[in-house]
Chains A and B, each alone.
Chain A
Amino acid sequence: MKLIKKQIPLAIVFITGVFTLVSYYVPNKTSIDYIETMNKWQNIVVAFAFLLGLVSLFFSHYHKIARKADGWGYSIFVFVGFLTIVISAYVSGGRQMTDAGLTPLGWSFKYIYNALSGTMFAVLAFYIVSTAYRSFRIKSLQAFVLFVAAFILILGKVPLGQIIWDLALGWTGAGVDQVIEWIMQVPAVAGKRGIMIGISIGAIVTSLKIIFGIEKQYMGKD
């Protein structure tokens, strides 16, 4: 049983991982075909993984409705939203536009999904600003540097900010656009590079640990 439960899954990780890694560095038709096939397989498995999440969400909200838990009425709207999009997608054959104009799926996307997702992220603008007010209280020189960088970025991207900059610092000859570009291209790149190199080393080490079976927490408990 240990073979089926543990060793074969670990062998799958090792073989798939090593083959994928080697294929990347071997310019050969077989390795290219292998990568293409594995990519398709990965898409298929991920589609089922999405189904796992979907069924889990439905179970959670179904139980809430069945038990008449607090706020169970809102859970109905999860199913309403889901069915609205899925039924309209079925009716439209997955297309948003035809020669006649918007399909039911296009209509649902424009007036329901787009409105909801756009507003949900737009609302975050207010919370980001309120968080900024609390976190930007300048307590140290480092916090001041962060504040200045963010302030210039925000100021320089609105017309009023550009006018203020020109009035106050126009004599320097440097426009706010140029300053923003310099910040983004020079000091911010230096900071980003350090992080990117660190992340890549971390990702490579973790991947090696997974391939060689040192890291296997994702397999869960026995």
Chain B
Amino acid sequence: MSETWIIIGGWLAAGLTIFLFSFLYKDNPFFKIAEHLYLGAGMGWLFQVSVTNVWIPKIWEPVSKGELLVIIPSIMGLSLLTQFIPKISWISRYGFTFMMGYGSGLAIPAGLSTDFMSQIEGTIKPFSLLASMSPFAIFNSALIAFGAICVLFYFFFSVEHKGHLKKVSNVGIYFLMIYFGAAFGNTVMARFSLLYGRFDDLYTFSGAKYLYATQFILTGMVIYFLVYALFAGRSKNAIKA
């Protein structure tokens, strides 16, 4: 990649970043352009991944070698495209039912082993090691078991929640709230980490190496908003008059 392409890339990345950030002020054409470009680029990226990882190695190459078994899933996959022709859209059921059947068959053992059994195991197992655990670790294990049971009571809808059941399920809500709070905090920090990354990139593109891309584009955006506000104000006054 030549130096020119790197500079062009810097201007493009800085521009697209600022265009998307401009939505924080108000909706504008530059944001919409970047938004639509993102949609197209995202689909393009997934398409190239699909071609590189599936179409070529799993369909094209086996068929070229005479392994014709892959034609069966290809036909099932092609059947999905009949969704565009209402009269024969029922054919797409062949593709969908295969995906649903395989997905369901896989979801049961996966759900049983990774979510159901392992969660119960994780809750119960520490109680078999009590002799080697510190008092604080025992307290933690008991708290986890107590909390998990309370949360399960909260999700148990077969019996009306009243009396002791209501008290237990109410305690479960507090554990849920702590989990939601923790998950929220983590999400916020992950998003802010991305934000720092974008600001860092904008700082990089503001250097002389990139011909001060950030400053020029930012100034351009400010001028656009000022001019827009001026004209919008004038047209409002004209309507009033």
Would A118 and B198 count as touching, CB distance under 8 A? Answer: yes
Nearest CB in chain B: distance from A137 CB, A: 15
**For chain B, which range describes its interface: under 10, 10 to 19, 20 to 34, or 35 or more residues?**
35 or more
Would A204 and B116 count as touching, CB distance under 8 A? Answer: yes
> With A and B bound together, what is the CA distance between A193 and B51 in angstroms?
39
**Binary per-residue interface labels of chain B (158-181) against chain A in the complex, 1 for a CB within 8 Å, 0 otherwise:** 000000000000001111111111
> With A and B bound together, what is the CA distance between A211 and B100 in angstroms?
8
Chain B neighbourhood of A112, CB < 8 A: 12-13, 16, 37, 41
Would B107 and A45 count as touching, CB distance under 8 A? Answer: no
Chain A neighbourhood of B8, CB < 8 A: 111
Would A80 and B37 count as touching, CB distance under 8 A? Answer: yes
B82-131 residues at the A interface, CB under 8 angstroms: 83-84, 89-90, 93-109, 111-112, 114-116, 119-120, 122-123
Main DSSP-derived SS at the B contact region:
helix
A128 at the B interface (CB under 8 A): yes
Would B104 and A82 count as touching, CB distance under 8 A? Answer: no
| Partner pick for A77 among B9, B40, B122, CB 8 A cutoff | B40
Query: Which of the listed residues B43, B145, B185, B201 has the most CB atoms from chain A within 10 Å of its own CB?
Result: B185
Would A200 and B198 count as touching, CB distance under 8 A? Answer: no
A194 in contact with B104 given A81-B44, A199-B115, A200-B116 (CB within 8 Å): no
Residues of B near any A CB (own CB < 8 A): 1, 5, 8-10, 12-13, 16-17, 20-21, 23-24, 29, 32-48, 50-55, 58-59, 69-70, 72-74, 76-78, 80-81, 83-84, 89-90, 93-109, 111-112, 114-116, 119-120, 122-123, 140, 143-148, 150-152, 154-155, 172-189, 191-192, 194-195, 197-198, 201
Given contacts A81-B37, A128-B188, A187-B147, 9 further A-B contacts (CB under 8 A): A9-B94, A45-B99, A71-B32, A85-B41, A115-B201, A116-B20, A186-B144, A190-B151, A204-B111
6 closest A-B pairs (Cβ-Cβ)? Answer: A194-B151, A190-B147, A153-B185, A81-B40, A48-B77, A20-B105
